[in-house]
Amino acid sequence: MGTEQIEDAEAVCGALDGALRAAGVGLPSLGVDPLSYGSALPLVLIELGRCNLDTARRLTAVLRGAAG
């Protein structure tokens, strides 16, 4: 995996984390999938991780609000 792709993925994770937190949602496990760092494939995955029910409800409300 190229350094540029990993740096881009880390930047996207940071932007997503910032946007979610601004909306009152924190995903503690959000990050670049660890397997992406050692992969030879041109595919970087973002790990959204697990969350508790309250966080899932807040995320659902934010997405519904954004969808109009």
Domain ranges of the chain: 3-67
Residues 6+ positions from 25 with CB-CB distance below 8 Å: 55, 58, 59, 62
Total-model pTM: 0.84
Structure tokens at 66: 């954004």
Q: Distance between CA atoms of 1 and 60, rounded to whole angstroms? A: 33
- φ/ψ of 11, rounded to 5, equals -65, -40
pLDDT in tens, 22-55: 999 999 999 999 988 887 777 889 999 999 999 9
How sure is the predictor about 1, in pLDDT bands with cuts at 50, 70 and 90? low
Q: Distance between CA atoms of 22 and 44, rounded to whole angstroms? A: 25
